[in-house]
Structure 1
Amino acid sequence: MKRVISILVSLIILVVIYTKIDFTRLIAVFQNCDRSWMAISLGMVVPLTLFTSWRLQQLMPSGSRLGFLEANRLILAASVLNMVLPSKMGDIAKAYFMKQRGHLGGTLSLSLVIFEKACDMLSLLLWCVFGLLVYPQKTWLFWVMTVAVGVGLVMGVLLLASKKFAYFFFLVARKIAPKKLRLKLETMQASWGEMHDYFWRDRVQLIKITGTSIFIWFLHLLQIWFFILALKAWTPFLANLALSPLAILAGLLPLTFAGVGTRDAALVLFYQPYFDGATAAALGVLCTSRYLLPAIGGLPFLGQFLATVRGIKGESGE
């Protein structure tokens, strides 16, 4: 039911956006696009997937046997499930699958995925803070967002850097959370502690994974800038480092289907100083393709992952 509601919310937001812009202008934007830049920007899905798969390999303990091709299958299949299932079930299935195939034991697989997602979020926030600090057109709204994103970044770093702070954070969260979330928070707290113990044992490995994550998210934001060039529009690259992460964060709000709608509205709002609403709406379509193309690539591997998801639900008694 929640998924149906999120799809309806996405459709309503899109209808509002498209009724306020000239839809024929949106079609014209795509018809007049730079096809070379369009091919380059869409093609960046491939190196982004490869780098993400390589990072997953580097996250594995020494002695584990996760091949590069299998890492790619895991990333692509998880992309499919993340598009159609709530609560990032694709990433949970990825952890379960690695455990099931004998790559990792115990709860370490979940800890690894938690660390992977934490690195992604902190890297996105880092680039967002950097972009907002150098963004020239600061209104009160942008100052509020700069402070909010900065606080989120500091909190995230403290959660990764300090086991005591993480314990206190989860203790408070469990006390104020609804009853149905407390068990999930307890499980996450245990996995977080194991993740902290595992990754802080090897500082060199930790630095390598962190640097790789920051680089991967630089490529994500570069891809969005390439989308803008493909649409024959212009935004200074440093401004894009501020605006595109804000749109991505808006898409992460648990209101819509795969971020469609909230992300599009954020793009129309934030890029107003640089191009019109039709171009921003076209940029929203291209940003959705960043999630859709890997999901399409993962369809051939979906069968074995669906069996894994059924196994997760069976173990949880759902």
Structure 2
Amino acid sequence: MKASRFLPLIGLAIFAYLLWSIDLGKLAASFLSLDPLLFLAALGLSVVAIALKAVKWQVIIRSYGLPFPFREALRGWLVGFAIGLVTPGKIGDFARAYYLKERANMGRALTTVVVDRLADILILFLLAAIGLTAFVTLYVPNDLLLAGVYGFFVLFLAGLALFSRTRVMIRVLRPFYRWFISDARKGTVKAVFDDFYGGVAVMVGKKRLMLASLAITLLIWIVTIFYVWVLAVAMGLAVPYWFLFLTFPIVGLLFALPISFSGLGTREAALLFFLSYVGIGAEQAIAYSLLMLVVDYLLGAAGFALWTRHPIHLRVGKNNL
């Protein structure tokens, strides 16, 4: 059994420790202070963020000249989001590719999802680097920490540049292709690889569409941080919007680590740490994080409902995913 399967237990262990170390009565009281109208407003903003993500995916798909209605893009996003809630990391993102199977081959469908995620990570890294720089400068001066963040950002950009070069990736992946792919699957894998990088080449040539996707990604983050700010106000937490703008992208990076289910444990620990600098207690911070989880699962429930009506068929063929 692979050790990676146990990684999500790290987040669960962190969550269990946090619950053990706080006053559960105060945690319950934090939930009871929730303003229902403001909570509904926050929920509405989270829906807007998901809708913008569907629009961004549409923009990326458009680089192929493929018609893909907003309704289908939104359905794919919600289903992928729902699957991602119950799997480590961002596996659910790749489920979206299955909704393109009637319009594109496997490689190109995966390209749209990967490019979408790379745009997310690029903007997230950028915002996190800016936010951490400001946070460290204002609260915990530490040049070594800043150097580490900038180093990771540079490595990410270098990796992105290498990833976009077909010849480099052929050399990197050739040993894995020879040693770990069976002869029966080599033809299929090669076709997917060729289609994938053929799609990358198409997208690289559509610079305006790629810039538009980055701009939409930035807008998504602005809306998302506004959503979590309204959620904080709904709980009576005195957290400035600018503080969340600086710190929440960092929380987002930690949330993306494949060491928990639905970010359980990692998000609570990160929010507890950052919010302590603006006078928010541990019980309130954890209740705030759990309320975000409630919003996630409400959206996930919509995704699962759509999945039951339009299930993904995990059958691989020439033009299927």
Tell me if both proteins adopt one fold, taking TM over 0.5 as the criterion. Answer: yes
Per the alignment, residue 280 of structure 1 pairs with: 285
In the alignment, is the contact (CA less than 8 A) between 2:38 and 2:233 conserved in 1?
yes
Unaligned runs of 5+ in 1: none
For residues 222-279 of structure 1, what are the alpha-carbon distances to aligned partners after superposition, in whole Å with 9 as ceiling and x for unaligned? 2222222222122333332232222222222222112111111111122211211011
| CA shift for structure 1 position 195 | 4.4
1:271 to 259, 271, 275: 275
The residue correspondences of 1:78-227 to structure 2 (distance < 5 A) are 78-86=80-88, 88-99=90-101, 101=102, 103-135=103-135, 136-140=138-142, 143-160=143-160, 168=168, 193-227=197-231
The residue type paired with residue 132 of structure 1 is L
Specify the SS of the correspondent of 2:111: helix
Per the alignment, residue 253 of structure 1 pairs with: 257
Q: 1:287 to 1:160 in 2, by over 3 A?
A: same
Query: Aligned equivalents of 1:131 and 1:87: distance in 2?
Result: 23
Query: Aligned equivalents of 1:188 and 1:71: distance in 2?
Result: 22
Aligned-pair Cα RMSD in Å: 3.3
In the alignment, is the contact (CA less than 8 A) between 2:132 and 2:250 conserved in 1?
no
Taking only the aligned residue pairs, the percentage that are identical comes to 22
Per the alignment, residue 17 of structure 2 pairs with: 16
| CA shift for structure 1 position 147 | 3.3
In the alignment, is the contact (CA less than 8 A) between 1:170 and 1:189 conserved in 2?
no
Query: Aligned equivalents of 1:188 and 1:278: distance in 2?
Result: 49
Length, aligned pairs only? 305
Query: Aligned equivalents of 1:77 and 1:284: distance in 2?
Result: 22
Query: Aligned equivalents of 1:250 and 1:97: distance in 2?
Result: 28
The residue correspondences of 1:301-316 to structure 2 (distance < 5 A) are 301-303=306-308, 306-308=311-313, 310-311=314-315
| CA shift for structure 1 position 117 | 0.5
Larger relative contact order (CA 8 Å, sep ≥ 6): 2
Query: Aligned equivalents of 1:29 and 1:235: distance in 2?
Result: 15
Q: 1:72 to 1:222 in 2, by over 3 A?
A: same
The residue type paired with residue 259 of structure 1 is G
Query: Aligned equivalents of 2:126 and 2:90: distance in 1?
Result: 22
Q: 1:180 to 1:279 in 2, by over 3 A?
A: farther
In the alignment, is the contact (CA less than 8 A) between 1:127 and 1:218 conserved in 2?
no
